[in-house]
Structure 1
Amino acid sequence: MLRTYKFRLYPTKEQKETIHCTLERCRLLYNRLLEERILAYKQSVITLTYNQQQNSLPERKSVIPVLKTIHSQVLQDVAKRLDKAYQAFYRRMKNGEKAGFPRFKPQSRYNSFTYP
């Protein structure tokens, strides 16, 4: 059985800045991963998977040092979020519903991150 706990946080000013920076970096990573999937499909009709993008995260951390400040499982969850968006898109296409292709996220639409 899985349990979920939700806590109300009262962060200090410094903690608010850290949370904001984490959210911003996760949002930028989400958008970058989405762009890579779109370009891979347009250029060579290759569909990138969650595992391929997850396995690229250590290399990204070495190239982009600010990603080192974010816990690795938080970054993995960003890739998982994008994969869930794609799975929902394909499911809706298959069922003949209005598909709704995954979108790039502005600041106002990316407001959470997950620690497992």
Structure 2
Amino acid sequence: MRKAYKFKLNPTPEQIRKIEWTLSMCRWLYNCMLEQRKTAYKHYGITLNYNKQATEFPSVKKECPEFKEIHSQVLQDVAKRLQKAFDAFFLRIKRGEKAGYPRFQGKNRYDSFTYPQSGFALEGKFLKLSKIGNIRRDFRG
């Protein structure tokens, strides 16, 4: 069973920087994986999917060590997000609807990241996020 919580966060300036940096890196990764899929299909006729791209994360972290500063499940969820966009695209094609190929995401369109199973905890007045820290939360609102 999934649970959803909603509360206002009161991050420190350093935590705000880390959150914005994480969003930026996730958006960059999403756009790179989208470009990789487009290029693989256009030039080589190869269809990439979540599994093929997610297996590359260890080598991505070696080539771009900044990604070691982001929880692994957050990165995996970026790949899942792209896979969902393609699944929806192909479903629209199958239904005969206007397809709308997945688009590159700008700063105003990519404004969240997810810890799907681990890397987070609710501890008293804090939301603990791996690689970001303990963020004070406000229960009003």
Amino acid at match of 1:92: R
The answer for the alignment partner of 1:42 in structure 2 is: 42
Residue pairs, 1:9-48, within 5 angstroms:
9-48=9-48
Aligned-pair CA distance for 1:8: 1.8
> Which runs of structure 2 are paired with 1:22-101 in the superposition (5 Å)?
22-101=22-101
**How far has the Cα of 1:6 moved from its partner?**
2.5
Larger strand share, 1 or 2: 2
Q: For structure 2, which runs of at least 5 residues remain unmatched after alignment?
A: 117-141
**Shift of residue 7, structure 1, vs aligned partner:** 2.9
Unmatched 5+ stretches in structure 1: none
What is the aligned partner in structure 2 of residue 8 from structure 1?
Answer: 8
Figure out how many residues of one structure are paired with residues of the other and give that number: 116
CA deviation vs aligned residue, 1:65-111 (integer Å, no higher than 9, x gap): 11110000000000000000000000000001111100000111000
- What TM-score, normalized by structure 2, do the two folds share? 0.80
Distance in 1 separating the partners of 2:46 and 2:7? 41
Confirm whether residue 111 of structure 1 aligns to residue 107 of structure 2: no
Of Structure 1 and Structure 2, which has the larger fraction of its residues in helix?
Answer: 1
The share of aligned pairs that are identical, in percent, is 58
Give the counterpart letter for 1:53 in structure 2.
Q
CA–CA separation in structure 2 for the residues paired with 1:21 and 1:84: 23
Residue 108 of structure 1 aligns to a residue whose secondary structure is coil
CA RMSD of aligned residues (A): 0.7
Q: Report the residue type matching 1:21 in the other structure.
A: W
Deviation at 1:4, TM superposition (A): 1.9
Cα distance in 2 for partners of 1:6, 1:69 equals 25
Q: 2:35 is matched by which residue type in structure 1?
A: E
